[in-house]
Amino acid sequence: MQYRELKITGAWEITPKQFGDDRGVFLEWFKQATFTDSTGRELDLAQANCSVSAAGVLRGIHYADVPPGQAKYVTCASGSVLDVVVDLRVGSPTFGQWDSVLLDTVDRRAIFLSEGLGHGFLALEDHSTVMYLCSTGYDPEREHEVHPLDPEIGIEWPTVGRDGSRLEYELSAKDRAAPTLAEARDAELLPHL
Protein backbone atom coordinates (compact mmCIF):
# COMPACT_ATOMS: atom_id res chain seq x y z
CA MET A 1 0.00 0.00 0.00
CA GLN A 2 1.10 3.52 -0.71
CA TYR A 3 0.18 6.30 1.73
CA ARG A 4 0.17 9.97 0.77
CA GLU A 5 -0.60 12.62 3.38
CA LEU A 6 -3.07 15.16 2.05
CA LYS A 7 -2.64 18.92 2.50
CA ILE A 8 -4.87 18.63 5.58
CA THR A 9 -2.79 17.29 8.50
CA GLY A 10 -4.35 14.06 9.74
CA ALA A 11 -5.74 12.93 6.37
CA TRP A 12 -4.18 10.38 4.03
CA GLU A 13 -4.85 8.89 0.61
CA ILE A 14 -4.19 5.14 0.54
CA THR A 15 -3.57 3.33 -2.75
CA PRO A 16 -3.55 -0.46 -2.43
CA LYS A 17 -1.53 -2.86 -4.55
CA GLN A 18 -3.93 -4.84 -6.76
CA PHE A 19 -3.33 -8.40 -7.88
CA GLY A 20 -5.34 -9.27 -10.96
CA ASP A 21 -5.68 -12.14 -13.35
CA ASP A 22 -8.39 -13.53 -15.63
CA ARG A 23 -10.48 -14.41 -12.56
CA GLY A 24 -10.63 -10.85 -11.21
CA VAL A 25 -8.75 -8.72 -8.67
CA PHE A 26 -7.57 -9.15 -5.08
CA LEU A 27 -6.36 -6.36 -2.78
CA GLU A 28 -6.01 -5.51 0.89
CA TRP A 29 -8.06 -2.35 1.45
CA PHE A 30 -7.00 -2.00 5.11
CA LYS A 31 -4.10 -3.47 7.07
CA GLN A 32 -3.45 -2.28 10.64
CA ALA A 33 0.33 -2.78 10.55
CA THR A 34 0.97 -0.71 7.40
CA PHE A 35 -1.63 1.84 8.52
CA THR A 36 0.14 2.33 11.86
CA ASP A 37 3.59 2.46 10.23
CA SER A 38 2.44 5.14 7.79
CA THR A 39 0.17 7.29 9.97
CA GLY A 40 1.78 6.80 13.37
CA ARG A 41 -1.50 5.75 14.97
CA GLU A 42 -3.86 2.83 15.23
CA LEU A 43 -7.45 2.75 14.03
CA ASP A 44 -9.75 1.44 16.71
CA LEU A 45 -12.75 -0.10 14.97
CA ALA A 46 -16.13 0.55 16.61
CA GLN A 47 -18.47 0.57 13.61
CA ALA A 48 -18.50 -0.22 9.87
CA ASN A 49 -20.93 1.58 7.55
CA CYS A 50 -22.10 1.09 3.97
CA SER A 51 -23.75 3.83 1.91
CA VAL A 52 -25.20 3.32 -1.59
CA SER A 53 -25.92 6.48 -3.59
CA ALA A 54 -27.30 7.52 -6.96
CA ALA A 55 -25.31 9.86 -9.21
CA GLY A 56 -25.49 13.40 -7.85
CA VAL A 57 -26.10 12.46 -4.22
CA LEU A 58 -24.00 14.78 -2.07
CA ARG A 59 -23.44 13.63 1.52
CA GLY A 60 -21.75 15.77 4.16
CA ILE A 61 -19.84 17.67 5.42
CA HIS A 62 -20.21 15.58 8.61
CA TYR A 63 -18.13 15.50 11.80
CA ALA A 64 -18.41 14.46 15.45
CA ASP A 65 -17.69 16.27 18.71
CA VAL A 66 -14.09 16.04 19.90
CA PRO A 67 -13.46 14.32 22.23
CA PRO A 68 -13.84 11.56 21.32
CA GLY A 69 -14.39 12.48 17.65
CA GLN A 70 -14.72 9.92 14.91
CA ALA A 71 -11.86 8.90 12.64
CA LYS A 72 -12.91 7.32 9.34
CA TYR A 73 -11.23 5.02 6.83
CA VAL A 74 -13.31 5.17 3.64
CA THR A 75 -13.28 3.33 0.30
CA CYS A 76 -15.63 2.89 -2.65
CA ALA A 77 -16.50 -0.75 -3.38
CA SER A 78 -18.61 0.00 -6.46
CA GLY A 79 -19.08 3.04 -8.68
CA SER A 80 -17.15 6.24 -8.00
CA VAL A 81 -17.25 9.20 -5.64
CA LEU A 82 -15.28 12.36 -5.05
CA ASP A 83 -14.45 12.07 -1.36
CA VAL A 84 -13.66 15.32 0.44
CA VAL A 85 -11.98 16.17 3.75
CA VAL A 86 -12.43 19.63 5.31
CA ASP A 87 -10.33 20.91 8.21
CA LEU A 88 -12.91 22.03 10.78
CA ARG A 89 -10.44 22.29 13.67
CA VAL A 90 -10.41 25.87 14.97
CA GLY A 91 -6.77 26.86 15.47
CA SER A 92 -5.43 24.58 12.74
CA PRO A 93 -3.18 26.23 10.14
CA THR A 94 -5.38 24.67 7.42
CA PHE A 95 -8.71 25.56 9.08
CA GLY A 96 -11.48 25.84 6.47
CA GLN A 97 -9.38 24.26 3.72
CA TRP A 98 -10.31 21.09 1.87
CA ASP A 99 -8.71 18.32 -0.15
CA SER A 100 -10.19 15.42 -2.10
CA VAL A 101 -9.53 11.92 -3.37
CA LEU A 102 -11.31 10.14 -6.21
CA LEU A 103 -12.51 6.80 -4.87
CA ASP A 104 -13.45 4.31 -7.58
CA THR A 105 -13.07 0.75 -8.81
CA VAL A 106 -10.06 1.58 -10.99
CA ASP A 107 -7.39 2.57 -8.45
CA ARG A 108 -9.44 1.36 -5.45
CA ARG A 109 -8.01 4.08 -3.22
CA ALA A 110 -9.13 4.79 0.32
CA ILE A 111 -9.00 7.95 2.41
CA PHE A 112 -8.35 8.25 6.13
CA LEU A 113 -9.62 11.22 8.15
CA SER A 114 -8.55 11.86 11.74
CA GLU A 115 -10.87 13.05 14.48
CA GLY A 116 -12.03 16.65 14.08
CA LEU A 117 -11.99 16.62 10.28
CA GLY A 118 -15.15 16.99 8.22
CA HIS A 119 -16.12 14.39 5.63
CA GLY A 120 -18.35 14.38 2.60
CA PHE A 121 -18.65 12.85 -0.84
CA LEU A 122 -20.43 13.23 -4.15
CA ALA A 123 -21.55 10.11 -6.06
CA LEU A 124 -20.36 10.35 -9.66
CA GLU A 125 -22.41 7.40 -10.88
CA ASP A 126 -25.45 5.39 -9.85
CA HIS A 127 -25.09 2.67 -7.22
CA SER A 128 -21.84 4.09 -5.85
CA THR A 129 -21.15 2.05 -2.73
CA VAL A 130 -19.01 3.63 -0.02
CA MET A 131 -17.67 1.59 2.92
CA TYR A 132 -16.43 3.25 6.13
CA LEU A 133 -14.50 1.94 9.10
CA CYS A 134 -15.20 4.23 12.08
CA SER A 135 -13.26 4.66 15.32
CA THR A 136 -16.41 5.40 17.35
CA GLY A 137 -20.05 4.48 16.90
CA TYR A 138 -22.73 6.81 15.63
CA ASP A 139 -24.22 9.06 18.32
CA PRO A 140 -26.76 11.60 17.04
CA GLU A 141 -26.09 13.86 20.04
CA ARG A 142 -22.42 14.25 18.99
CA GLU A 143 -22.91 14.44 15.21
CA HIS A 144 -22.88 17.73 13.30
CA GLU A 145 -22.65 19.01 9.78
CA VAL A 146 -21.47 22.02 7.81
CA HIS A 147 -23.14 22.94 4.53
CA PRO A 148 -21.25 21.23 1.66
CA LEU A 149 -21.94 24.11 -0.74
CA ASP A 150 -20.68 26.84 1.61
CA PRO A 151 -18.82 29.33 -0.63
CA GLU A 152 -16.38 30.14 2.20
CA ILE A 153 -15.07 26.58 2.01
CA GLY A 154 -15.36 26.59 -1.79
CA ILE A 155 -15.29 22.89 -2.54
CA GLU A 156 -15.06 22.33 -6.29
CA TRP A 157 -17.70 19.61 -6.59
CA PRO A 158 -17.87 18.05 -10.08
CA THR A 159 -20.82 19.01 -12.23
CA VAL A 160 -20.48 16.07 -14.64
CA GLY A 161 -20.75 12.37 -13.75
CA ARG A 162 -18.53 9.54 -14.95
CA ASP A 163 -20.88 8.92 -17.88
CA GLY A 164 -20.68 12.55 -19.01
CA SER A 165 -24.17 13.49 -17.81
CA ARG A 166 -24.82 16.67 -15.84
CA LEU A 167 -25.04 16.08 -12.08
CA GLU A 168 -27.93 17.57 -10.13
CA TYR A 169 -26.86 17.69 -6.48
CA GLU A 170 -29.23 15.89 -4.13
CA LEU A 171 -28.79 16.64 -0.42
CA SER A 172 -30.64 15.29 2.59
CA ALA A 173 -32.89 17.70 4.48
CA LYS A 174 -30.32 17.68 7.30
CA ASP A 175 -27.48 18.64 4.97
CA ARG A 176 -29.56 21.34 3.23
CA ALA A 177 -30.26 22.91 6.65
CA ALA A 178 -26.63 22.67 7.82
CA PRO A 179 -24.94 25.86 9.01
CA THR A 180 -22.12 27.48 7.07
CA LEU A 181 -18.59 27.22 8.42
CA ALA A 182 -18.85 30.75 9.87
CA GLU A 183 -22.19 29.97 11.53
CA ALA A 184 -20.82 26.74 13.04
CA ARG A 185 -17.71 28.57 14.28
CA ASP A 186 -19.76 31.43 15.76
CA ALA A 187 -22.05 28.91 17.52
CA GLU A 188 -18.92 27.18 18.92
CA LEU A 189 -19.91 23.85 17.34
CA LEU A 190 -16.51 23.15 15.79
CA PRO A 191 -13.64 21.16 17.32
CA HIS A 192 -10.53 23.01 18.56
CA LEU A 193 -6.89 22.04 18.35
State the catalytic residues: 62, 132
Question: What is the three-state SS of the chain?
Answer: CEEEECCCCCEEEEECCCEEECCEEECCCCCHHHHHHHHCCCCCCCEEEEEEECCCEEEEEEEECCCCCCCEEEEEEECEEEEEEEECCECCCCCCCEEEEEEECCCCCEEEECCCEEEEEEECCCCEEEEEEECCCCCCCCEEECCCCCCCCCCCCCCECCCCCECCCECCHHHHCCCCHHHHHHCCCCCEC
